[in-house]
Structure 1
Amino acid sequence: MSESLRTAADAVLRRLVGDTTGTARLREDQWRAIEALVAERRRALVVQRTGWGKSAVYFVATALLRERGSGPTVIVSPLLALMRNQIEAATRAGIRAHTINSANVEEWDDVQAQVAAGEVDVLLVSPERLNNPDFRDEILPKLASTTGLLVVDEAHCISDWGHDFRPDYRRLRTMLAELPPGTPVLATTATANARVTADVAEQLGTGGPSGGSDEGALVLRGPLERESLALGVLRLPDAARRLAWLADHLDELPGSGIVYTLTVAAAEEVTAFLRQRGYSVASYSGRTEDADRRAAEADLQANRVKALVATSALGMGFDKPDLGFVVHLGSPSSPIAYYQQVGRAGRGVEHADVLLLPGLEDEAIWRYFASLAFPGEEQVRRTLEVLAAADRPLSLPALEARVDLRRSRLEIMLKVLDVDGAVRRVRGGWTATGQPWTYDAERYAWVARQRAAEQQAMRDYTTTTECRMEYLRRQLDDEEAAPCGRCDNCVGARFSAEVSADALDAARAALGRPGVEIEPRRMWPTGMPAVGVELKGRIPASEQASSGRALGRLSDIGWGNRLRPLFAEGTADEPVRDDVVDAVVRVLADWAKGPGGWASGAPDAPPRPVGVVTVDSRTRPGLIESLGVRIAEVGRMPLLGRVEYADDVAPERISRSNSAQRLRALHGAFSVPAELADHLRQLGGPVLLVDDMTETGWTLAVAARMLLRSGASAVLPLVLAAQG
């Protein structure tokens, strides 16, 4: 049987890869995994480098199992782009593949009907689907009872020791428990060190015997060498030179590729600059609409663009064998995450360039993402208490009004608690189960230390004089790690750090161009009446701030790098610098002359601001007051006064977490002094509202509402920095 099964498996492989010569054969470890799944009905964990052919294992196994009467394969896959690649690959092999995800809700009923009719060989679902109440309670049990093969792709996401932990993946334990005895299970990943491998095995239950065999799980772990990749690091002194380097050298990089950035703002900045320099590039991030993502993926696949400028949203989600390069404009915080992303390149070509250009802003961005870690015990207990006291399920917006956590942290925390059995997601929101729960402080602290160690490893990667590929392989516990003979440390630098004066001037101009639009808050957060604040629905137009401006975003690679030191902990409160004032004046001039500006000359242009109002501050009063004074002087307007904190308010206690908690704390926290109110009533025109920074937008919204109610005809917010 083994020989005939191998012959059949190789035949499926040839259809999958489009081989017409009849020479394509499975690798020995690919065949061993397929044999374990199909003939032995075992569970297997495959840890192999990107491009090794892990998808061939589950597609070939699917074809063979379906021929033998098994039910459809269910693949849990983390990203829509990855699903699209997988469906295309399956189709080439004659495998009927469909997906259920957030982007095709209108197709769900049809897909489920096809599954029930036996017309689907592979069903791809996102991990988030596993705990959607309707899917979990109505579809998942039926699916589990008929599944012929369960595949967990990118299985490192299961482990909170890994670089991309996703709590939804842990719902797989429920599905595993409901699988009929003898159902084979395959977990695959390219980026797992020894610790993550062990944890994934435990989470999936692949560490012991499974229904079809008395043997334990088969673990296939191969070397992580990538013979095509030439790694390098280029340290440049500032963001302008990094952008200029890209403009000068992007055409020297082979084929088409990916330029990774650490933030959405940086991706958009870099895309705009490279287009300005004549390159065909597209931006790809979590902010990109699904249709635009599809178009960008298609353009890169067809080499219609030189590069996608992408955040980690593209990290696991793209398969282009001839991708010629990966450049990182900023360093990821983990060697494992870095290896994952560079692994997109060189899968089907002999040579691909991989280059890291670390930046000054990297560590600040690392700190921000680290701040989103699992909350402290007090916040978790508070959430459980709120849910336990509620007489109905609470949605995320409703919880935000009662819990001092941002939406993203709150959602991740609830998913972890759900896996732990302390809460449950139901229609309408979340409920407490009443089951005892222990805060695993030791584990969370260990994970934090692990993150810190990974950050240090990335610092060391940028400065090491040893082979860079060997360094990365050691970080992933690859016992066969050896010098690659291709990286810049092995054979010398491939790229010069030189940039042209023209490109540098253009980069400086692009990054030095100040001004970011601030959209006003238009809706009050959900659930405010429940916490004693009678604000709900749409903010009346007569009480809304107008569109505002910030000098820059703290996450920008241009003005962000110049603004961050002003807001760093321990920075002295000093009068605003002249160069900052000059930039603010440019922002005001562009704003005034732009579309809808008071100096635009348009027939319906609003009147010119009649004065300047500042916002009270206990942390940077000197900075804000001096900024207000300078703006008033330059604009030849009076400084009318400031919106002050009420006498009984301690500003340091005002939450900076989610919108509902911040608005709750700010409501009633400010007052408009009588003298300022008199000025507003007498002048009756628009005013500039000056503050140092906006994070959630609620300080500006609350202050603007009060000024409008006191007689201002419009409030135009102006701040130095926008968070995010």
Structure 2
Amino acid sequence: MASIPPLRERAEHHLRALAGDSARLRDDQWTAIHALVAEHRRALVVQRTGWGKSAVYFVATALRRAEGAGPTVIVSPLLALMRNQIAAAERAGIHARTINSSNTTAWEATYADVAAGEVDVLLVSPERLNNPEFRDRVLPRLAAGAGLVVIDEAHCVSDWGHDFRPDYRRIRSLLHELPDGIPVLATTATANERVTRDVAEQLQSGGGETLVLRGPLERESLRLAVADLPDPTARLSWLAEQLPRIEGSGIVYTLTVSAALETARFLTEQGMDVRAYTGQTDPEERRDAEDALLQNRVKALVATSALGMGFDKPDLGFVIHLGAPQSPISYYQQVGRAGRGVSRAEAVLLPGREDTQIWAYFAGLSFPPEDTVRQTLEVLDAEGGPLSTAALETRVDLRRTRLEQMLKVLDVDGAVQRVRGGWTSTGRPWSYDADRYAAVAEAREREQRAMLDYIATGTCRMEFLRRQLDDPQAEPCGRCDVCTGEFWPTEVDPGHREAAAAHLDRPGTPITPRRQWPSGMDTLDVPLSGKIKEDLRASEGRALARFTDVGWGNELRRRLAEDAPDEPVDERMLQAVVRVLATWAWDRRPVGVVAMPSTTRPKLITDLASRLSELGRLEPVGTLDYRVPPGPRRHNSAMRLGQVYSALTITDELKERLADLQNRTPGPVLLVDDYADTGWSLTVGTALLRRAGAPEVLPLTLATSGG
């Protein structure tokens, strides 16, 4: 009878099937595999991007399956990562399937294949873990029968991590409910000592200590650099000039969706083959863009962090940041996507003066204050049955995204539960950990200060990043711009600067009209539901720019800040709005102008409406009115609608002037406001004007939120 080869020999065989005949296991790879397969332990592997963490769980999967164990369940955060991993697994003869939001029609067939033993690896998105049907019906069976459980990008489990995600908190429950003897592997490339300790503690079960394997974070191929340019025009000019000179293809990261779209448009106009990639990009377009970059059919993807963890392209030649991420740890993770399979890759940061304002915006999405959380729990307690997120939105003043994040945290804490039909209270006691939330916020602020220190540092940049990740082997790299004294030029070609200035000064962005009233408005005594009737609906509007735009966005944020004085519109901004009107391809030219009322900027809005009337030879019809002051601006959509519905009105005088205008010169009217946020002020104002006889209403604002 033939003897069975030793475990390491079999592991090496599976590795060669996965990575080629010359592949050999690293010492820490073997240590992790042995712990998982021979000892059924729980392990945390913290190693740099490209080290081979996925090889550990694929080799361990092959060994466990050969022993008759169940499939490996991998919790993986992004579809790009899933697709890459499935392809890699198939090369090694490992049959992998995935369950995520893009393949819902295949779920039942996948479950059946798992039950039949035909699936070796099942990749699950963290969002699935909190889906009631999956959590209650599928997950217990998967967990009980798993041969190995893998938590990829495990820093997301820790709320101390730079990329904490509420959906990942469900993993804590999953790990505690696993039967004894099922090994668990957690992997990440970006965890400092505090996050490593937190994740390791969460992995522990039954008194067994988590095996932590942490390696040096040096990336020998990366050439880190900072090019500090004075303004957005200079940064776009720099990209247009330098990108064609950098070898290979790569990624240009931006902080916002609008910046990604705008930058991609500009570079395309300059003759470069680039594509935009954001969380708002259609999934099919995202897949096509990923493939185009993988096959070097484009010079770059201009992307937000949606092109995130696990994107695997060994020959990625550069990562350029148009704006700084909020932390050095996040920055290290993103630049680490470059240079895995090439000897040199450029990582250049182009910081912006507006970066800190964008960080402040995202900081506003943190866990809500205690009184808001208590109010949510009280609403659910009083209801006695499930409430949908939309229904809760009419009773709790939080935007939809932030409300959903809070509910996920409360779910894992045991205070609420997601069920069919929405959310219910469990009635269990719950305490608000104010000290921890404050400490997390303070940690975020420290990370932001450290990012500013990275930009300004006069010492080795790679050493700086490695020290931020508590790498004990951090030392000068000898390759970055500080170490070599070789800095990227900051003077830009006048021709490129002129083209960038013209692009950024190009005004105008659409305002999509609301088509549906929020559900549950009857709880706010607002008799609105279903679709907005077509004869009350606004046409597509225009704003000068988004607050997050690279060009006009900076100026609009200053002009419309809460503490900015209420002054008439300045000439440059007025002329830009005139250009928006001149390029607006409306079906019928407007004949009159109506201003929205304002308690904060009446001078700005009425002056803008008046001057547009004069310049465009449009009749100044007047201003809508408030029957009662609307009060402080509400944060979420439903409450904002309730607020403006009860406050906004149209005077008899305005009705008469509008009717007179339509009798003399029928046509659309412009509805002018300072900015559009939820869009409900413009929607309600439009409905009032259309009921009063306006055949069409064209919203026009200086700014719109978004991106």
TM-score clears 0.5: yes
**1:305 correspondence with 2:287:** no
Greater mean alpha carbon deviation, residues 463-472 or residues 169-178: 169-178
AA of the residue aligned to 1:43: R
Query: 1:138-287 residue pairs with structure 2 within 5 A?
Result: 138-205=137-204, 209-210=207-208, 216-287=209-280
Secondary structure of the structure 1 residue equivalent to 2:646: coil
Secondary structure of the structure 2 residue equivalent to 1:271: helix
AA of the residue aligned to 2:582: A
**Structure 2: distance between partners of 1:715 and 1:179:** 59
**Structure 2: distance between partners of 1:526 and 1:203:** 39
Counterpart of 2:93 in structure 1 is: 94
AA of the residue aligned to 1:716: L
**Structure 1: distance between partners of 2:13 and 2:180:** 29
Counterpart of 2:394 in structure 1 is: 401
**Structure 1: distance between partners of 2:703 and 2:176:** 50
Q: Is the 8 A contact 1:170 1:203 kept in 2?
A: no
State the shift of 1:531 in Å.
Answer: 2.4
AA of the residue aligned to 1:615: M
Counterpart of 2:705 in structure 1 is: 723
Counterpart of 1:325 in structure 2 is: 318
**Structure 2: distance between partners of 1:492 and 1:105:** 53
Q: Is the 8 A contact 1:546 1:716 kept in 2?
A: yes
Secondary structure of the structure 2 residue equivalent to 1:625: helix
Match of 2:473 among 452, 461, 480: 480
Query: 1:629-640 residue pairs with structure 2 within 5 A?
Result: 629-640=610-621
Secondary structure of the structure 2 residue equivalent to 1:313: coil
Counterpart of 1:628 in structure 2 is: 609
State the shift of 1:469 in Å.
Answer: 0.5
**Structure 2: distance between partners of 1:313 and 1:306:** 18
**Structure 1: distance between partners of 2:574 and 2:6:** 78
Greater mean alpha carbon deviation, residues 494-503 or residues 698-707: 494-503
**1:412 correspondence with 2:405:** yes
Counterpart of 1:642 in structure 2 is: 623
AA of the residue aligned to 2:18: L
State the shift of 1:358 in Å.
Answer: 0.6
Secondary structure of the structure 1 residue equivalent to 2:306: helix
Counterpart of 1:694 in structure 2 is: 676
Q: Is the 8 A contact 2:77 2:126 kept in 1?
A: yes
Secondary structure of the structure 2 residue equivalent to 1:270: helix
Superposed CA deviations along residues 375-403 of structure 1, whole A, max 9, x for unmatched, are: 01111111111111114311111111111
Counterpart of 1:601 in structure 2 is: none
**Structure 1: distance between partners of 2:195 and 2:17:** 34
| Matched pairs, number | 700
AA of the residue aligned to 2:204: G
Superposed CA deviations along residues 439-475 of structure 1, whole A, max 9, x for unmatched, are: 1111111111111111111111111111001111111
Query: 1:339-378 residue pairs with structure 2 within 5 A?
Result: 339-378=332-371
Q: Is the 8 A contact 1:327 1:355 kept in 2?
A: yes
Match of 2:639 among 661, 666, 673: 661
Runs of 4+ in structure 1 off by over 6 angstroms are none
Counterpart of 2:693 in structure 1 is: 711
State the shift of 1:668 in Å.
Answer: 2.0
Counterpart of 2:433 in structure 1 is: 440
Greater mean alpha carbon deviation, residues 43-52 or residues 609-618: 609-618
State the shift of 1:68 in Å.
Answer: 1.1
Counterpart of 2:66 in structure 1 is: 67
Q: Percent identical across equivalent pairs?
A: 63
**Structure 2: distance between partners of 1:202 and 1:418:** 21
Secondary structure of the structure 1 residue equivalent to 2:258: helix
Secondary structure of the structure 2 residue equivalent to 1:203: helix
Q: Is the 8 A contact 1:96 1:121 kept in 2?
A: yes
Counterpart of 1:7 in structure 2 is: 9
**Structure 1: distance between partners of 2:401 and 2:30:** 42
AA of the residue aligned to 1:223: P
State the shift of 1:3 in Å.
Answer: 7.9
Q: Is the 8 A contact 2:267 2:274 kept in 1?
A: yes
**Structure 1: distance between partners of 2:503 and 2:242:** 18
Secondary structure of the structure 2 residue equivalent to 1:314: coil
**Structure 1: distance between partners of 2:495 and 2:395:** 54
**Structure 2: distance between partners of 1:687 and 1:493:** 58
AA of the residue aligned to 1:619: T
Counterpart of 1:523 in structure 2 is: 516
Counterpart of 1:582 in structure 2 is: 575
**Structure 2: distance between partners of 1:557 and 1:292:** 24
State the shift of 1:532 in Å.
Answer: 1.4
Counterpart of 1:29 in structure 2 is: 28
Secondary structure of the structure 1 residue equivalent to 2:293: helix
Match of 1:17 among 19, 32, 35: 19
AA of the residue aligned to 2:632: R
State the shift of 1:486 in Å.
Answer: 0.5
Superposed CA deviations along residues 672-703 of structure 1, whole A, max 9, x for unmatched, are: 12211110111123211111111110110011
Q: Is the 8 A contact 2:157 2:171 kept in 1?
A: no
Superposed CA deviations along residues 387-432 of structure 1, whole A, max 9, x for unmatched, are: 1111431111111111100011000000000000000000111100
State the shift of 1:2 in Å.
Answer: 12
AA of the residue aligned to 2:296: N
State the shift of 1:654 in Å.
Answer: 3.5
Counterpart of 2:651 in structure 1 is: 673
**Structure 2: distance between partners of 1:392 and 1:192:** 40
Secondary structure of the structure 1 residue equivalent to 2:312: coil
State the shift of 1:259 in Å.
Answer: 0.3
Superposed CA deviations along residues 267-303 of structure 1, whole A, max 9, x for unmatched, are: 1001111111111111111001111111011111100
**Structure 2: distance between partners of 1:578 and 1:712:** 30
Greater mean alpha carbon deviation, residues 89-98 or residues 705-714: 705-714
Q: Is the 8 A contact 1:692 1:720 kept in 2?
A: yes
**Structure 1: distance between partners of 2:410 and 2:102:** 27
Secondary structure of the structure 2 residue equivalent to 1:457: helix
Q: Is the 8 A contact 1:74 1:149 kept in 2?
A: yes
Q: Is the 8 A contact 1:654 1:666 kept in 2?
A: no
Counterpart of 2:50 in structure 1 is: 51
Secondary structure of the structure 1 residue equivalent to 2:361: helix
State the shift of 1:636 in Å.
Answer: 1.5
Q: Is the 8 A contact 1:361 1:557 kept in 2?
A: no
State the shift of 1:494 in Å.
Answer: 4.3
Q: Is the 8 A contact 2:224 2:479 kept in 1?
A: yes
Counterpart of 1:465 in structure 2 is: 458
**Structure 2: distance between partners of 1:654 and 1:721:** 16
AA of the residue aligned to 2:343: E
AA of the residue aligned to 1:162: G
Q: Gaps spanning 5+ residues in structure 2: where?
A: none
State the shift of 1:633 in Å.
Answer: 0.9
**Structure 2: distance between partners of 1:267 and 1:609:** 33
State the shift of 1:194 in Å.
Answer: 0.7
Secondary structure of the structure 2 residue equivalent to 1:692: strand
Secondary structure of the structure 1 residue equivalent to 2:581: helix
**Structure 2: distance between partners of 1:621 and 1:510:** 31
Greater mean alpha carbon deviation, residues 515-524 or residues 497-506: 497-506
Q: Gaps spanning 5+ residues in structure 1: where?
A: 211-215, 598-604
**1:612 correspondence with 2:593:** yes
Secondary structure of the structure 2 residue equivalent to 1:397: helix
Q: Is the 8 A contact 1:172 1:204 kept in 2?
A: no
Greater mean alpha carbon deviation, residues 63-72 or residues 498-507: 498-507
Q: Is the 8 A contact 1:400 1:407 kept in 2?
A: yes
**Structure 1: distance between partners of 2:174 and 2:386:** 24
Counterpart of 1:77 in structure 2 is: 76
Match of 2:660 among 676, 682, 693: 682
Counterpart of 1:389 in structure 2 is: 382
Q: TM-score, length-normalised on structure 2?
A: 0.97
Counterpart of 2:134 in structure 1 is: 135
Counterpart of 1:602 in structure 2 is: none
Secondary structure of the structure 2 residue equivalent to 1:664: helix
Secondary structure of the structure 1 residue equivalent to 2:98: strand
